[in-house]
Structure 1
Amino acid sequence: MKPNMFNILRDRILYMEYQPGQILNENVLAQEFEVSRSPVRNVLNRLEWEQLVRIIPRTGSMVTEIEFNKIMHVFQVRFECEVLEIQLAANQLNDSHRIVLKTIKERCAALFDNKDRKALVAVDTDLRNMIHEAAGNPVLKEISDRLYAQTFRLWYGAMDKGDWNEEVSSMVEEIRKLSDLIPGRDTKAMGAFRRKVLTDHFDRMRRKFFTH
């Protein structure tokens, strides 16, 4: 089995190359990846555990729909995980991280009036990975990443709606504020900051989901 089959299929779902409701056929995937059906089935089972597909007997694996109410519940848990993680990271973040943040912010600012959804995702991923590393808790990282994946498609789709520069501006401001908070190493302030970032992020997605 190609070691990246899971990542390839997962990315196709997250970036909506496979549309919600689309049926994935084991035989077709086995032929594409030049493997037997068994490793394909293992990957699909893992994607079902990630709640990205739903296996339907005698039909195939269906890419899960984007259900706003379910995503809202996921966000409630994601809030708590990411607040805890940034609080764990607070005492480890230092001036070297601020230098990294400066570079990330510059990459993000370059996206004003330059719509590139995958580039903005890459900025967000680098920011999240920096926090993961500083927090140093692999279990929390695994949970956080799984919850992130379950909410990702709503955000990725919402980027195509409304004001693109609003998305860029919110991330630039998030990076700037995080950099400003690092010297104080105030876990409470870090937690409040992260909760507000996620709340604002969710509110933007909800507004775009229901008004466009």
Structure 2
Amino acid sequence: MSSYSVASPYNTETIYQDLREGILSLKYKPGQLLSENAIAAAYQVSRSPIRAVFSRLANENLLMILPQKGSYVTLIDYDFIREIIYMRTLVERDILKQAAASCDDKLIKNLESNLRKQHRLADLGSRADHERYYQIDNEFHQICFRHVGRDLLWQILQEHQVHYRRFRMLDILSQQILSKLVDEHELIAQVISSGDTNKLDQLIEEHLVNGLHRIEQLVMTEHPDYFYSSNSN
């Protein structure tokens, strides 16, 4: 009797993108062991392409590969999150002021369209697609960067999302705060539309720093095992 093997419908790039997205969206939790054998079986491939994928993820600081022990999803660097929020507060404060100073009908329409999407998701409550909300939230900020001609700066900020995106997802998933986030975006859009740049300093700081305050509670209570401090001795 002849035997044959059935080709897997998944290629290495697809597996890489799936696992990467799974880590960033918290499908795979910080500190979770990822088994080469289990992943290979799930995607109907040998362990060889899985090793290649794991190596790529390790190079992005998404996996930590420990010889003879296994491969683990990296923990979230709490100190890095604090620095990213500090940087984004400084950068976005200036971007939003520029957007307010040059606000036009196109910007207002784009922000209003984005806010309608946010409201639709927030109205779903616990049934909301939180990953989709994260994407729409991101788009709100990107609209402002694009309006003032800072697309490249936006892309640079996105290159540092390994820890920040997981932090944001944990915040959104754990607190069920979509309505509050939408309200904050509404206020920012209103101020941009009015051109009153004096209010933006406080609004953007509250919008970005409030998440850090919420996450501090998670670190201390619900998920201390998800985080580590890169500045600890």
Q: TM-score range by the shorter chain?
A: 0.7 to 0.9
Q: 1:128, 1:62 → 2: CA distance?
A: 32
**TM-score, scaled relative to structure 1:** 0.73
SS of 1:18's partner is: coil
Q: 2:164, 2:203 → 1: CA distance?
A: 20
The 8 Å contact of residues 158 and 209 in structure 1, kept in 2 or not, is answered as no
Q: Indicate whether 1:140 and 2:153 are aligned.
A: yes
Map of 2:172 onto structure 1: 159
Question: Structure 2, unaligned stretches of length 5 or more?
Answer: 1-10, 223-233
Task: State which of 66, 79, 87 in structure 1 corresponds to 2:89.
Answer: 79
The 8 Å contact of residues 97 and 197 in structure 2, kept in 1 or not, is answered as yes
Q: Deviations over 1:31-75 (max 9, x none)?
A: 62747736x555434433433222323444320123534433443
The 1:21/1:188 distance shift into structure 2, 3 A limit, reads: same
Q: Indicate whether 1:114 and 2:136 are aligned.
A: no
**Percent of aligned pairs with the same amino acid:** 22
Corresponding letter in the other structure for 1:170: K
Between stretches 10-19 and 191-200, larger displacement belongs to: 191-200
Map of 1:44 onto structure 2: 54
The 8 Å contact of residues 81 and 140 in structure 1, kept in 2 or not, is answered as no
Aligned length: 208
Displacement after TM superposition at 1:21 (Å):
1.6
Task: State which of 74, 78, 103 in structure 1 corresponds to 2:113.
Answer: 103
The 8 Å contact of residues 104 and 127 in structure 1, kept in 2 or not, is answered as yes
Question: Structure 1, unaligned stretches of length 5 or more?
Answer: none
SS of 2:108's partner is: helix
Map of 1:177 onto structure 2: 187
The 1:69/1:100 distance shift into structure 2, 3 A limit, reads: same
Displacement after TM superposition at 1:132 (Å):
4.3
Task: State which of 140, 143, 150 in structure 2 corresponds to 1:130.
Answer: 143
Map of 1:24 onto structure 2: 34
SS of 1:127's partner is: helix
Q: 1:33, 1:65 → 2: CA distance?
A: 28
Q: 1:127, 1:99 → 2: CA distance?
A: 12
The 1:90/1:101 distance shift into structure 2, 3 A limit, reads: same
Corresponding letter in the other structure for 1:22: Q
Map of 2:206 onto structure 1: 196
SS of 2:191's partner is: helix
Q: 1:42, 1:71 → 2: CA distance?
A: 28
**TM-score, scaled relative to structure 2:** 0.67
SS of 1:133's partner is: helix
Between stretches 56-65 and 87-96, larger displacement belongs to: 87-96
The 1:139/1:102 distance shift into structure 2, 3 A limit, reads: closer
Between stretches 94-103 and 137-146, larger displacement belongs to: 137-146
Q: 2:52, 2:147 → 1: CA distance?
A: 32
Larger Rg: 2
SS of 1:55's partner is: strand
Corresponding letter in the other structure for 1:152: R
